[in-house]
Structure 1
Amino acid sequence: MSSYQKPKGTADILPGETAKWHFVEETARQIFHDYRFQEIRTPLFEDYHVFSRSSGDTSDIVTKEMYDFHDKGDRHIALRPEGTAGVVRAYVENKLYGPEYVKPEKVYYMGPMYRYERPQSGRQREFHQIGVEAFGAESPAQDVEVIAMAMQLLNTLGVKNLKLVINTLGDKESRQAYQQALVEFLRPHFDELSADSQTRLEKNPLRVLDSKDEHDQEIVTDAPSILDYLDEKSQQHFDTVQSLLKDLNIDFVIDPDMVRGLDYYNHTIFEIMTDSKAFGGKMTTILAGGRYNGLVEQLGGPDTPGIGFGMGVERLMLVMDAEDVKVPVDDDLEVYVVGIGAETNATTLEMVQALRKEGVSADRDYLDRKAKGQFKTANRLNAEYVITIGQDEMTNRVANVKIMATGKQVQVPFEQIAQHFEQVQQQLKEAE
């Protein structure tokens, strides 16, 4: 038994299970394509400050969860804990805001992320995200397009009982006015707050609303609401988002206490939740995002509005398993070539290669099994057809092709099998 084990908080995604991942990824690719989002791929690691600057020095990601280190050139490097910051860095560095690019610039990504946190169901240290970002449009309609696409993706993947929760953080001025009111409310409770919230009160008071500490949650129950501090422009943006969601018949709930965990959000933020039995029937977020006007500028680019979302794939998989979502698996074997005698080795190899070039899935024996063992293997692999080649077949350049389900078989010249297998299939159907 091997003494080597995977690192804590990681998982092996084995053959069979990967078929589900392909289904999710290809479904996402197709839907994103329909909405005119294109794929972007960024490095797994970035300069530490890409994340500390964008996510905020007080966020849990930066203060507790980042995998960071100094490399051999003494550069401070971090494994990416989320997708947005790296995409924004790429957008700025490659000048995707230039006049030659059509706006909005709409991109998607998928891949592994890393956070050092306590592993639990649906939450690993190496986890995978699928996400989108749209740059250059300030319109509330862009917010709604991103939300609608997220809902369509989850519906298409078979996730049931979805609940869309939205809120707004307003623009910079609204947020500052609300932040001041929140500080005035929380200051008298300073000694009662958790250590984390005491730190956040000094650096980013809105994050106190996001505290997981039960006593903190009790304190903020009576806190003022961001919705009471929106200026006219922010209120109009949020009203339009609600109106457009209703126009698209997308149900939603407003939660004024939702702030999201990263510092770069403003205006519309949202979470899509489900009460799947995968999490004991408790409402759990499986996709979340929001607008982040100002983040591009923060990372050195021009003032550019943006909005996006991220979805945890492992968490989604748990929900799909609990909902017993049937995933189409395309691993059918069409042809198994049986070779009788060592002298058929080269011919059977040539045959499977010719079939594969025709786009036919084909396999043969590589363990020197007897003919009986090869037929058993063809059965186990659920091969649709078996082609048998022995000494006589090699002499006459004709092989037996059998339909495994019915036992019907015909003799067919090697050349026809190798070049026109679809004709052989038709011939067998007519012989039935």
Structure 2
Amino acid sequence: MLGRVTTTEARPRPRRGRAVRTGVTIAAVLLLLFGVPWWTLVLAPAWPLPVTVAATAVFLVALLAFPAGMFLGHARGNDTASTIGDTILGLVWIAFVWSIIGNVLRLALLGVDGAARIAAAAVAVVVVVLALWGHYEAMRVPRVREVEVRLPRLGAGLDGLRVVQITDTHYGPIDRARWSRGVTEAVNALDPDVVCHTGDIADGTADQRTEQSAPLGDIRATMARVYVTGNHEYYSGALGWLDRMRTLGWEILHNQHVVVTRDGASLVIAGVDDRTAEFSGIEDHHADHEAALAGADPALPVLLLAHQPKQIDGAVAHGIDLQLSGHTHGGQIWPFHYLVRTDQPVLQGLSRHGERTQLYTSRGTGFWGPPFRVFAPSEITLLTLRAG
């Protein structure tokens, strides 16, 4: 008697299925991102054929150049490609957002002759103006934002302590060595007691961004210069950046703390690694509040550096008085703000969490990727700490 012969069909590999879904999703997003502005600015107004063809060609070139620039730039390390891809991303995002608003205007003008052309012209003007202004805002040396923070546990001897925060400098494919020197001059002009860098120094390795980061070595502080990692360090050779910052004379708060004292009053300045560090594969890199505070006098107030506002829960649990964070860029290009808020508890500014803990979230000193800042100005933050 013959046994039953069974056959099994080979199942498609899960990875292949995920890759297909990812590819389809990316294609759909790109078509939507480029298609809405193309329809609003080119197709709906029914321009003369030569204008329509030429404008369509521009959109098509941008659509093809964008993924190529992002891949060759961010995956292969080509700075020119990165600049092209990032710039296209910023421009198309601005055009996409304002095209949607322009179509609302077109509906409001329904029945008016040439409504589509009026809307298209208005969108084009707004996009050009915002792109030029946004680029200027991204490339200029940030203005100083002054904030006063009262810490009830701070001793009188440290009343008026001047803490300057810089963060998210993102030295990248666009050479901003001159900008970096300007930031250093602006910080030194504030005569700070403590200077903090709360992460995301660069996009690129320390060797690639040597010239841009060099001015950090000239920043002056009477009591301490302290630094913690951001998530982008873990994409760009974190250990190299730690060595670079040590060489430049900064204190690395890798789940560690220092104590500053003046006129009999002391403040613990602690730092934890970014929350993404534990997935980096680098040994002993993860956010560890207990290690950062080990040996610190629990009676002293604590200033904590943690790159992401999302790390505030750990600060509350450990009785931190004030946490300084960055990461959000204040949204960078409106209305990306609303997407940031789905991931982070705070977008920018001073906020209170729990009975003791306050959080200050900087909008960032530099910019990531697209060289634009729209309705989200960069900042160098001067925090004056007041005794309680």
| TM-score > 0.5, shorter chain as reference | no
From the CA coordinates, give the structure whose radius of gyration is larger.
Answer: 1
Q: Return the TM-score normalized by structure 1.
A: 0.23
Q: Return the TM-score normalized by structure 2.
A: 0.25
* Higher-RCO chain (CA-CA 8 Å, sequence separation at least 6): 2
